[in-house]
Structure 1
Amino acid sequence: MLSYDELTSPERELWDAFPEGRRVDLRTGVPEDDRVAEGGQWGPGRTVRAALIMALLLGANTTQPGAVACLRLAGARISGRLNLAGARISHALWLADCWFEESVDLLGASTQTLVITGSRVPGIEANSARVEGNLDLRRSFVESLDSSPFNHRSTALALSDARVTGGVLLSGAEISAPGGWAVAAGGLVMEGGFFCNGGFVARGEVRLLGAQLPGGLFMRGARLEGPDARGVALALDNAVASTINLSDGFTANGTVRLRGARISDDLTFAGAVLNGPPDGHGPTLAAVRMQAVDFDLTLARPPSGPVDLRGAQVSYLHDNEHSWPDVVELDGFGYGSIKMAEAGERPGTVVQRDSVARRVAWIRRSPGYNPQPYEQLASCYRKAGHDDDARRVLLAKQRHRRRTLPAAARAWGHLLDATVGYGYRPWLAGVWLLALTLLGTLSFGARTPHPVGQGAGAPFQPLVYTLDLLIPIGGLGQRTAWYWPDAGLQWLAYLLITFGWVLTTAVIAGVTRTLQKN
């Protein structure tokens, strides 16, 4: 343990200030001399050994009665490694604009609020640590550790299985682990929010797998650089959060992954830029089985790669003209309503009825044929009271399905489409019935049929006879009373009977859909 006589002048000043929680500021006030990036050149007058900081935090100097001990140091070069692994620290640590020679080790430690702002640190190891308060690294530059006992990748900020009763504050920080993990926080449990707002830069993957974030994750204006050509920029698989805000210029050069994530309120990408992996392979956004209440995907520009929403469930979907790339995986994607923000309009504009063709084109960006996206969109329109639009969507579903059928089935499909619109265009069936009625009336009126039996009977009426053939239910007494010696007219009668069954059924189905909403 260091004795007081062995301490340098700045170390003695820190020793004396610690019991009262006074700040020791070694900055000169000259901007050129106080640049943290040049901290390696600071001399003995601004150097404090990490061993002294460890000693004070572990109770080397008796706390003065009536004061709260706190280590507050600014503008110092910290030599040696600050190794507090497994320690139980009852004093807050506040370091500002400091330059660390070596990494900070808090593995399994229990500490009070930890503040290292505006500083340069070659890695922070805090796996399984417990922080009673905030972990504040705002405006700091944290580089990757050379190695980590928990993974084979280099890591700059390690918070796996840590517990933080306050918030994690990284706004304005730069966390750098090119080719590795900028932030490794799988299993992190928090009570406050995780803030990485404007100016935050991460080089390497940000991993929050299974993290518990009841205070939310905020990355407004942040920039994330994936670790490699096919890398993931942000991984939130199975995370649980109240809200996730990736908006206002948030930029991800790599995949944003939210597989199985559960967000109890908002998930927003409003004004974000999703560039995806640099090599163009892999999804830009992978949100398989994600759950959220309000999902805002009103991006600043279209994603560079596919968006995968298979099995995701949201209550409200917001999108705009920039939301969707050429490939969108929508099988199993469920939503209660869609709100479209047009160009020049603010988000929240309810989707208009003339957007059905655009919505169908959106569904067809999904590879292959899947009926669920069509059924989901039709259900959305029905709930909004737009039954005609719902039928248009279901008709588009049948036309898409037809492409997957054998040649004979496709031919039959084309016939159904042209004659009755697969039953979703009852008015078209009515048009065909009128045309066939006119055809039959003119054809049968040109000649006189033979009566079936002798005796008096209803006189022949071409219009009534044609209607009797076309209407499959009941009878008007004409079809059974007359027959045609002319084979051509007899085959026309058979043809009208066939079409009558098909078209009348289509009309009844259409009327039923109108009167009874599905």
Structure 2
Amino acid sequence: MLSYDELTSPERALWDAFPEGRCVDLCTGVPEEDRVAEGGQWGPERTVRAAVIVALLQGANTAQPGAVACLRLAGARISGHVNLAGAQISHALWLEDCWFEEGVDLSGASTQSIAIVGSRVPGVEAGLIRIEGRIDLRRSRLESGSASPFHRRVTALSLINAHVSGAVNLNGAEITAPEEWAVSAGGLVAEGGVYCQDGFVAHGEVRLMGAQLPGGLHMRGARLVGPGRRGVAIALDNAVASTLDFSGGFIANGTIRLRGARISDHLTFEGAVLNGPPGCHGPSLVALLMQAVDFDFTLARPPSGAVDLRGAQVSYLHDNGHSWPDVVELDGFVYGSIKRDEAGERREAVGRQDSVARRVAWIRRSPGYSPQPYEQLASWYRKAGHDDDARRVLLAKQRHRRQTLSPAARVWGHLLDATVGYGYRPWLAGVWLLALTLLGTLSFGTHSPHPVQRGQGSPFQPLVYTLDLLIPIGGLGQRTAWYWSNGGLQWLAYLLIAFGWVLTTAVIAGVTRTLQKN
């Protein structure tokens, strides 16, 4: 137990100020001398032992009546290891512009609000902590410390399974663990949200898997640099949040992983840059089975890696000309509406001249063939009242599917496409019928055929004769009553009969397919 007599001058000042919650400021007022980065050179007049801080927070100097005890210290060099693991702390802690010789261990502690602002700390371990208030690490620089015998992986900030009734404030902080986890906060519950804005930088992976963030995750303008060998900038697998904000110049040099994440309000990447893992070909965004109400993917420039949205569900999708890379996984992706950002205005993506062509090209960025993206897009067009566009999408689906079939099936597919557009363009059959009718009428009208039986049957009529050849079912009495001695016209008659059967079969097959799908 520390005694008052063995305390140094700055430690006595802190000891005396603690019961009344007064702040002890050891800064000199000279900017060059107060730079936290140079805190390792501060002398004894600005040094406070970690043991003194631990003793005060654990009740070494009782509060005075009528005052609220609080540890407030600024501009100090803190020597030794601040070990408060498992402690029951009933006082708030405020440390500003301090330089820590060793890391801070708050794992398993129960405490009031904690603020370590503008300071340099070799790691903060706060797994399983319970904070009745907020944790404030604004403008601080956290670096991974040395590994312990029990932990192979080194983390600059650990909040694994922590519970914070307020917010986690990391605005302006720089957290560095280049080859490891910059932030490890799996299972974190932050009722007031997590704030990583105002120049926040993380060198290393940010892990928030399974986190519960009713107040959201706000990373507007942040910069994330994932570790090179794994390439994940931030992992939010199975996280539950009201908002995920990666907008306003947000930059990620690594994969953003949102597998199974559930966002009750909006997920935004407006103006973001997704570079993907540095030095490799990994994906820029992985959002398998992600759920969100509003998904804003209006990026500043196209992602360098693939975007995986398989199985994701969103109510509203916003995109622009920079949203999609060369590879987009869309199988199982469900959306209720699409709005496109053009020249700062967001409008429904239906009704535009190139809307269908652009959306089909978007689907074709997916590797291989899958019918679901086409069906989803067609469903959206139908709900918007654009049935013609929906049919164009379904026609594009059949053309894409045709590439996966056997040669014989591809030939039949080309025939269906040319004649009736797979049933989505039945008017093509009318065009073919009209053209063949005109051809037959003009060709047969220049010559006179021979009657099969003289004096019987109706007079020869080129138009009716041509129609009789083209219509395979029933008969108009002309085809059986006349024949040709001219070989060319006879072969034309055979050809028209064959075309009639092909057209009829194609119409029946195409219409049947359309009825089955709709």
Scaled to the shorter chain, the TM-score interval is: over 0.9
Deviation for aligned residue 1:458: 3.6
Pick closer, same or farther for the CA change 1:348–1:54 going to 2, 3 Å.
Answer: farther
The AA in structure 2 aligned to 1:14 is L
Deviation for aligned residue 1:419: 2.6
Q: Distance in 2 between matches of 1:149 and 1:394?
A: 60
Task: Give the corresponding residue for 2:293.
Answer: 293
CA contact 1:353–1:389 (8 Å) conserved in 2: no
Q: Distance in 1 between matches of 2:140 and 2:346?
A: 35
The AA in structure 1 aligned to 2:199 is G
Task: Give the corresponding residue for 2:235.
Answer: 235
Task: Give the corresponding residue for 1:396.
Answer: 396
Pick closer, same or farther for the CA change 1:155–1:296 going to 2, 3 Å.
Answer: same
Q: Distance in 2 between matches of 1:474 and 1:13?
A: 110
Q: Distance in 1 between matches of 2:47 and 2:262?
A: 47
What secondary structure, in the 3-state scheme, does the structure 1 residue paired with 2:314 have?
A: strand
Aligned residues between the structures: 517
Task: Give the corresponding residue for 2:107.
Answer: 107
Deviation for aligned residue 1:492: 4.0
TM-score under structure 2 normalisation?
0.93
CA contact 1:437–1:467 (8 Å) conserved in 2: yes
Pick closer, same or farther for the CA change 1:51–1:240 going to 2, 3 Å.
Answer: same
Q: Distance in 2 between matches of 1:68 and 1:508?
A: 86
The AA in structure 2 aligned to 1:346 is E
Q: Distance in 1 between matches of 2:74 and 2:255?
A: 38
Residue range with higher mean Cα deviation, 386-395 or 464-473: 464-473
Task: Give the corresponding residue for 1:33.
Answer: 33
Task: Give the corresponding residue for 1:127.
Answer: 127
Pick closer, same or farther for the CA change 1:148–1:206 going to 2, 3 Å.
Answer: farther
Task: Give the corresponding residue for 2:349.
Answer: 350
Q: Distance in 1 between matches of 2:359 and 2:231?
A: 31
Task: Give the corresponding residue for 1:460.
Answer: 460
Q: Distance in 1 between matches of 2:184 and 2:199?
A: 20
Superposed CA deviations along residues 175-233 of structure 1, whole A, max 9, x for unmatched, are: 11110000000111121111001210001000011111111111000001111154211
Residue range with higher mean Cα deviation, 477-486 or 236-245: 477-486
Aligned 1:424-503 pairs, distance under 5 A: 424-449=424-449, 457-472=457-472, 475-479=475-479, 482=482, 489=489, 492-503=492-503
CA contact 1:94–1:116 (8 Å) conserved in 2: yes
Q: Distance in 2 between matches of 1:367 and 1:323?
A: 18
Pick closer, same or farther for the CA change 1:75–1:251 going to 2, 3 Å.
Answer: same
Task: Give the corresponding residue for 1:248.
Answer: 248
Task: Give the corresponding residue for 1:264.
Answer: 264
CA contact 1:293–1:315 (8 Å) conserved in 2: yes
TM-score under structure 1 normalisation?
0.93
Deviation for aligned residue 1:152: 2.4
Residue range with higher mean Cα deviation, 70-79 or 396-405: 396-405
CA contact 2:423–2:511 (8 Å) conserved in 1: no
Deviation for aligned residue 1:388: 2.0
Provide structure 1 residue ranges, at least 5 long, that are not aligned to the other structure: none
Pick closer, same or farther for the CA change 1:117–1:105 going to 2, 3 Å.
Answer: same
Deviation for aligned residue 1:386: 1.9
Superposed CA deviations along residues 254-312 of structure 1, whole A, max 9, x for unmatched, are: 11111111111111111111111112221111111111111111111111111111221
Pick closer, same or farther for the CA change 1:349–1:28 going to 2, 3 Å.
Answer: farther
Deviation for aligned residue 1:462: 2.1
Aligned 1:170-319 pairs, distance under 5 A: 170-319=170-319
Q: Distance in 1 between matches of 2:17 and 2:347?
A: 56
CA contact 1:117–1:140 (8 Å) conserved in 2: yes
CA contact 1:19–1:70 (8 Å) conserved in 2: yes
What secondary structure, in the 3-state scheme, does the structure 2 residue paired with 1:199 have?
A: coil
The AA in structure 1 aligned to 2:41 is Q
Task: Give the corresponding residue for 2:45.
Answer: 45
CA contact 2:423–2:513 (8 Å) conserved in 1: no
Deviation for aligned residue 1:399: 2.0
Superposed CA deviations along residues 135-188 of structure 1, whole A, max 9, x for unmatched, are: 110000011021257752211001111111111000100011110000000111
What secondary structure, in the 3-state scheme, does the structure 1 residue paired with 2:112 have?
A: strand
CA contact 1:216–1:242 (8 Å) conserved in 2: yes
Pick closer, same or farther for the CA change 1:269–1:99 going to 2, 3 Å.
Answer: same
Q: Distance in 1 between matches of 2:395 and 2:149?
A: 58
The AA in structure 2 aligned to 1:350 is A
Pick closer, same or farther for the CA change 1:219–1:148 going to 2, 3 Å.
Answer: farther
Task: Give the corresponding residue for 1:333.
Answer: 333
Aligned 1:407-418 pairs, distance under 5 A: 407-418=407-418
Q: Distance in 2 between matches of 1:118 and 1:378?
A: 54
CA RMSD of aligned residues (A): 2.5
Task: Give the corresponding residue for 1:12.
Answer: 12
CA contact 2:338–2:348 (8 Å) conserved in 1: no
What secondary structure, in the 3-state scheme, does the structure 1 residue paired with 2:134 have?
A: strand
Pick closer, same or farther for the CA change 1:183–1:94 going to 2, 3 Å.
Answer: same
Pick closer, same or farther for the CA change 1:237–1:458 going to 2, 3 Å.
Answer: same
What secondary structure, in the 3-state scheme, does the structure 2 residue paired with 1:133 have?
A: coil
The AA in structure 2 aligned to 1:175 is I
Deviation for aligned residue 1:69: 1.4
- Tell me if 1:323 matches 2:323: yes
The AA in structure 2 aligned to 1:412 is W
CA contact 1:154–1:181 (8 Å) conserved in 2: yes
What secondary structure, in the 3-state scheme, does the structure 2 residue paired with 1:244 have?
A: strand
Task: Give the corresponding residue for 2:169.
Answer: 169
Q: Distance in 1 between matches of 2:143 and 2:246?
A: 23
Q: Distance in 2 between matches of 1:451 and 1:149?
A: 106
Deviation for aligned residue 1:17: 1.6
- Tell me if 1:383 matches 2:418: no
What secondary structure, in the 3-state scheme, does the structure 1 residue paired with 2:438 have?
A: helix
Deviation for aligned residue 1:403: 2.1
Superposed CA deviations along residues 294-344 of structure 1, whole A, max 9, x for unmatched, are: 1111111111111111221212111111111111122222222221112x3
Q: What is the identity percentage for the equivalent residue pairs of Structure 1 and Structure 2?
A: 80
Q: Distance in 2 between matches of 1:410 and 1:18?
A: 83
The AA in structure 2 aligned to 1:304 is S
The AA in structure 2 aligned to 1:378 is A
The AA in structure 2 aligned to 1:196 is C
CA contact 1:146–1:154 (8 Å) conserved in 2: yes
Residue range with higher mean Cα deviation, 137-146 or 286-295: 286-295
Residue range with higher mean Cα deviation, 452-461 or 149-158: 452-461
Q: Distance in 2 between matches of 1:463 and 1:152?
A: 89
Residue range with higher mean Cα deviation, 281-290 or 392-401: 392-401
CA contact 1:326–1:365 (8 Å) conserved in 2: yes
Superposed CA deviations along residues 458-479 of structure 1, whole A, max 9, x for unmatched, are: 4332212322333455554444
